[in-house]
A and B are shown apart, each in its own frame.
Chain A
Amino acid sequence: QVQLQESGPGLVKPSQTLSLTCTVSGGSVSSGSYYWTWIRQPAGKGLEWIGRIYTSGSTNYNPSLKSRVTISVDTSKNQFSLKLSSVTAADTAVYYCAREVVRGTNWFDPWGQGTLVTVSS
């Protein structure tokens, strides 16, 4: 079955760019039936959708983060990536990657295990 695994630095300095990669196994990011999505969760708080990418490279972003977010896909490596610029302490969170199933109102399944990113000097 499809599995997703996040990777990247666990500590990022304020004003710098957060960069994470999600590696997909057991399936292909080139599949036309799915979007590939990033979601985050600050400690003790709820889930926030960051954005998504389709295999074609088409993207959609959360309006509240749109000016700072870039999501890209590398089909040769079966990976997709997140870049979040000008980070502050408010961006400290567990970041999840997930497969978004395209079926009417889309849902997320499966999810990666998540990776904690702390923004601190």
Chain B
Amino acid sequence: QSVLTQPPSVSGAPGQRVTISCTGSSSNIGAGCDVHWYQQLPGTAPKLLIYGNTNRPSGVPDRFSGSKSGTSASLAITGLQAEDEADYYCQSYDISLSGSVFGGGTKLTVL
């Protein structure tokens, strides 16, 4: 049972827009802790996709965007491409646990 809750899977056709939610609590996201997102392509290590709720590292396409409100955060992907098929994880900090926490991951399928 992950501290942050994500849907197990989402899907969309090429060119469409999908969103992935990440729900936390008052001891992590709701406490003001930032949310970060990672993309894990099959057989590879996770890669930073969004940091500080909304910021993209250099090299990440602007098709990827993040937002945060209350105890939740979302990752949006527009103009879906086949290469976006991957697992996506959210991450934050939990004050009660005094450590970083992850969501359970969401598998994105491009139809």
Contact = CB atoms under 8 A, between A and B. Distances in A.
B99 A46 contact: no
Tell me the interface secondary structure of chain A in the complex.
strand
A106 B93 contact: yes
Given A112-B45, A114-B45, A60 B98 contact: yes
B105 A47 contact: yes
Contact of A46 (B51, B89, B97): B89
Contacts of B103: 46
Given A107-B48, A107-B51, A109-B57, A47 B102 contact: yes
B91 interface: yes
Which one of A63, A106, A107, A110 has the highest number of Cβ atoms from chain B below 10 Å of its Cβ?
A107
A26 interface: no
Q: How large is the interface on A (under 10, 10 to 19, 20 to 34, 35 or more residues)?
A: 20 to 34
A33 interface: no
B45 A113 contact: yes
Interface string B30-43: 00011110100000
Contact of B91 (A60, A62, A96, A108): A108
A111 B99 contact: no
A49 B51 CA distance: 17
Interface in A84-121: 96, 100-101, 103-114
Interface of A: 37, 46-49, 51, 60-63, 96, 100-101, 103-114
Interface of B: 2, 33-36, 38, 44-48, 51-52, 57, 89, 91-93, 97-105
